């Protein structure tokens, strides 16, 4: 087979998107009754559920902090989530651990944890289907769940990935584009306060092109933020729709 | 060929719908679009859709616009000027006041706060709560009350059997498991909030203490408003409810609880050295009242699922509706039935509200009327919903 082409001469990608388009987003907050907050998040074929518990009593006293809450994150990928490799899941998987600590650090900086001394907040991320952009999707999903739990945050956390393949910057990679061996840039920002939470890049991008890739990722984050905020507002209106209001 | 394929389609459609009907618990799945993305299908990106739909809506009703204005999401600017005081759910950044939770803005003079829809319980002195013992420590119990940490129940803060004035001895400390053990439910009041943020409970009242022979459920604390009374007796059906401010709810049979209480009182007076054993005859709850309790529990669950405030009046309204519709117990929580009942309650309430207004007007005219208690209750009920209305 000849070398796979990632972009057609017309400028369309493998799944038919243009270079500056994100995949279709679908989301729903408050899917679990038992958790304090929960969310379902779908970005293209990547599907994720998140449950947030807490702030609650610290499980082990040694880890308790007297000035703030501790944030725990557990990330796991279902055995059936990926079409290509079906391996039994291990809890202490290196990649899972990396994503978990990324989420943990992001939320430690954004949730106002100093308001909850001697407590702990648990974030459980479960990937149901993996099709690239997992880190970004997990962060966005966790944001919705944390908001649903009513935890005070300085801002949303919005994340988006971008890459540089065949001389073109691409937004929001899917699995195939991730495997191309091109650069993998992950940007997570606080869209309203205007801060960067994390910026990671694997492999290289020509120096003069880096700026444009980063700018593209930033635009992707802002677009995702608009969608997340719409969903949060829709969910809130839904929640209160049955309560007695002045109209009736 | 054509006919065959259409038949197949029909069959598969039927199967799908049948499956959905069977899985009531999974009803949220029906709201999620589970289309499989394929390059052949033309699927529009959602951000295009959302822009269009918001344009299409165009005119919104006044209350809706007000709601949109008062609804805040984390990081959203409430006010640019510094003339407001920072309340709960807000923070300062760059000389602006921002919201930190998703909820509705409340303004009291200059104090601005945002109240989240769902949040953990936060104790205040005098709150009446239902809790579950999680740990027996030295001279204290740890109690789970759905707050951000376990609350503390000191040995000195409970009523010991054998009179209130009895001295606490070291033997009491050794026998703490005779009073409460892990997983016991307690009915208590918030006594004090300590310097370090821990909260102490007490049960130094005849009606507080261990809860036995009933059923327990939990709802978000925001659905239960603080009030004077949290122990309600639904006299018409003989069910007792404790609506803990922390969202924990206790349901039990009235007659059985009364008998049990008198037995415990007698035991504490006479032979408090022996451990208390409640005989089977008193412990037993009849099948009829168990059904009633289950129906009340389902009624509360209906309110919970539609995120409506939980109040005895509201519970009874749902309870009576379910009976009127002769719904079997197990069908009460069917999503369609919930929708039906909630719409019915809404229409009832609006008509009730009009009646009540007339009534209060009449009452103002001739002030000494009979049935003051009932009127108080009604007013409380109105205030209860008005409170909700004001926030919107």
CATH numbers and ranges of domains, chain B: 64-116 (2.40.50.100)
More confident residue, B373 or A39: A39
Edge-first strand order for the sheet with B96-99 is B77-79, B96-99, B90-93
- Which DSSP symbol is given to A153? B
Q: What is the pLDDT of residues A58-95, one digit of tens each?
A: 988 888 999 999 999 999 998 888 877 666 656 568 88
Which of B98, B99, B148 has the highest number of chain A CBs within 10 A, making it the mutation to test binding with A? B148
Residues contacting residue A216 through CB under 8 Å, at least 6 positions apart: A19, A20, A162, A169, A170, A171
Query: What are the structure tokens assigned to A200, written together?
Result: 């990671």
pLDDT at B369: 39
User: Per-residue pLDDT averaged across B220-227, rounded?
Assistant: 91
Residues contacting B344, CB < 8 A, separation 6+: B321
**Mean of all residue pLDDT scores within chain A:** 90
- The C-alpha of A204 sits at a distance from chain B's nearest C-alpha, in angstroms, of 30
Q: Which whole number is the average pLDDT over A114-140?
A: 95
Backbone angles phi, psi at B233, to 5 degrees: -110, 115
Distance CA A46, CA A178 (A): 13
The count of C-alpha atoms lying within 13 angstroms of the C-alpha of B390, restricted to the half-sphere facing its C-beta, is: 9
**R_g of chain A, CA atoms, integer Å:** 19
Query: What local confidence, expressed as pLDDT, does residue B242 receive?
Result: 96
pLDDT band at B53 (very low <50, low <70, confident <90, very high): very low
Q: How far is A76 from chain B (nearest CA, A)?
A: 21
**Chain B, window 126-185: residues with a beta carbon less than 8 angstroms from a chain A beta carbon:** 134, 142, 144, 148-150
pLDDT > 70? residue B125: yes
Size of interface A-B (CB pairs under 8 A): 157
Residue B56 has pLDDT above 60, yes or no: no
Of A29-38, B58-67, B147-156, B284-293, the poorest mean pLDDT is in B58-67
Considering only CB atoms, A248 lies closest to which of B101, B307, B346, namely B346
Per-residue confidence (pLDDT) for residue B367, from 0 to 100: 42
List of domains in chain A = 25-244 (3.30.230.70)
Which residues 6+ apart lie within 8 Å of B76 measured at CB?
A: A192, B98, B99
DSSP state of B49: H
> Which residue of chain A is at minimal alpha-carbon distance from B96?
A193
Among A132, A219, A182, A218, CA closest to A7: A182
Nearest Cα to Cα of residue B317 among B347, B290, B286, B277: B347
Q: What is the mean pLDDT of residues B310-338?
A: 91
For residue range B152-204, list pLDDT tens digits in order. Answer: 999 989 887 766 566 777 888 888 888 899 999 999 999 999 998 899 999 98
> What does the buried/exposed string (b/e) look like for A120-131 if buried means 16 or more CB atoms within 10 Å of the residue's CB?
bbbbbbbbebbb
Output phi, psi for B101, to 5 deg. Answer: -130, 165
Residue B23: other Cβ atoms inside 10 A: 10
- pTM for the model stands at 0.82
Report phi then psi at A3, rounded to 5. Answer: -60, 135
More confident residue, B274 or A133: A133
d(CA B106, CA A30): 24
The mean pLDDT of chain B is 78
- Cβ-proximal residues to A119 (8 Å cutoff; 6+ apart), any chain: A54, A55, A56, A57, A58, A69, A70, B148, B149
Which residue of chain A has the CA closest to B31?
A: A28
Query: How many CA atoms are closer than 13 Å to the CA of B23, on its beta-carbon side?
Result: 10
Distance CA B312, CA B289 (A): 18
What pLDDT digit, counting tens, does each position of A1-45 carry? 456 788 998 889 999 999 999 999 999 999 999 999 999 999 999
Q: Cβ contacts (< 8 Å) between B134 and chain A: which residues?
A: 57
Contact assignment for A36 to B120 by CB distance below 8 Å: yes
Q: Kindly state the average pLDDT of the residues A144-166.
A: 95
């Amino acid at each position: 087979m000849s070398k796979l082409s990632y972009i057609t001469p017309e400028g369309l990608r493998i799944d038919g998107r243009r270079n500056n388009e994100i995949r279709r987003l679908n989301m729903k907050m408050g899917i679990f009754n038992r958790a304090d907050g929960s969310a379902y998040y779908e970005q293209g074929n990547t599907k994720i559920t998140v449950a947030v518990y807490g702030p609650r009593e610290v499980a082990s006293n040694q880890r308790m902090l007297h000035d703030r809450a501790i944030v725990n994150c557990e990330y796991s990928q279902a055995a059936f989530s990926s079409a290509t490799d079906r391996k039994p899941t291990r809890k202490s998987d290196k990649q899972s651990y990396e994503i978990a600590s990324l989420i943990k650090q992001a939320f430690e900086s954004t949730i106002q944890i100093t308001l909850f001394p001697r407590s702990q907040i648990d974030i459980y991320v479960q990937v149901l289907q993996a099709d690239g952009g997992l880190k970004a999707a997990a962060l966005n999903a966790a944001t919705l769940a944390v908001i649903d739990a009513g935890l005070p945050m300085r801002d949303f956390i919005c994340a988006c990935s971008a890459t540089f393949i065949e001389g073109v910057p691409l937004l929001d990679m899917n699995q195939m584009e991730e495997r191309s061996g091109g650069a993998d840039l992950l940007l997570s920002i606080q869209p309203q306060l205007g801060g960067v939470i994390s910026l990671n890049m694997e492999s290289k991008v020509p120096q003069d092109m880096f700026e444009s890739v980063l700018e593209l990722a930033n635009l992707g984050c802002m677009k995702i933020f608009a969608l997340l905020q719409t969903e949060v507002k829709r969910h809130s209106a839904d929640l209160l729709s049955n309560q007695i209001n002045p109209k009736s | 060929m054509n006919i065959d394929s259409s038949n197949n389609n029909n069959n598969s459609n039927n199967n799908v719908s049948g499956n959905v009907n069977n899985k009531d618990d999974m009803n949220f799945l029906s709201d999620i679009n589970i289309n499989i993305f394929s390059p052949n299908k033309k699927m529009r990106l959602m951000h295009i859709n959302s822009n269009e739909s918001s344009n299409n809506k165009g005119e919104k009703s006044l209350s809706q616009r007000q709601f949109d204005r008062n609804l805040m999401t984390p990081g959203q600017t409430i006010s640019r000027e510094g003339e407001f005081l920072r309340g709960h759910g807000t923070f300062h950044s760059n000389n602006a006041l921002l919201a930190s939770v998703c909820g509705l803005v409340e303004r009291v003079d200059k104090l601005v706060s945002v109240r989240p829809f769902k949040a953990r319980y936060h104790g205040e002195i005098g709150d009446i709560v239902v809790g579950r013992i999680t740990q027996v420590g030295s001279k204290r119990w740890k109690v789970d009350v759905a707050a951000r940490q376990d609350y503390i129940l000191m040995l000195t803060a409970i009523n010991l059997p054998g009179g209130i004035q009895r001295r606490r001895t070291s033997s009491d400390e050794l026998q703490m498991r005779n009073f409460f053990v892990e997983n016991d439910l307690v009915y208590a009041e918030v006594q004090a909030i300590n310097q370090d943020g821990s909260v102490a409970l007490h049960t130094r009242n005849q009606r507080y203490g261990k809860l036995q022979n009933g059923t327990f459920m939990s709802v978000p604390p925001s659905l239960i408003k603080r009030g004077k009374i949290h122990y309600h007796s639904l006299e018409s059906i003989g069910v007792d409810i404790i609506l803990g401010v922390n969202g924990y709810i206790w349901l039990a049979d009235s007659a059985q609880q009364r008998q049990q209480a008198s037995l415990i009182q007698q035991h504490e007076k006479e032979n408090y050295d022996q451990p208390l054993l409640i005989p089977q005859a008193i412990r037993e709850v009849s099948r009829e009242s168990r059904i009633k309790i289950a129906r009340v529990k389902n009624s509360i669950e209906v309110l919970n699922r539609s995120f409506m405030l939980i109040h005895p009046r509201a519970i009874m309204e749902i309870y009576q509706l379910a009976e009127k519709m002769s719904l079997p117990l197990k069908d009460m929580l069917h999503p369609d039935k919930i929708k039906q009942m909630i719409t019915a309650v809404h229409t009832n309430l609006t008509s009730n509200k009009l009646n009540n207004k007339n009534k209060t007007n009449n009452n103002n005219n001739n002030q000494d009327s009979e049935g003051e208690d009932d009127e108080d209750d009604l007013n409380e009920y109105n205030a209860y919903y008005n409170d909700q209305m004001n926030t919107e």
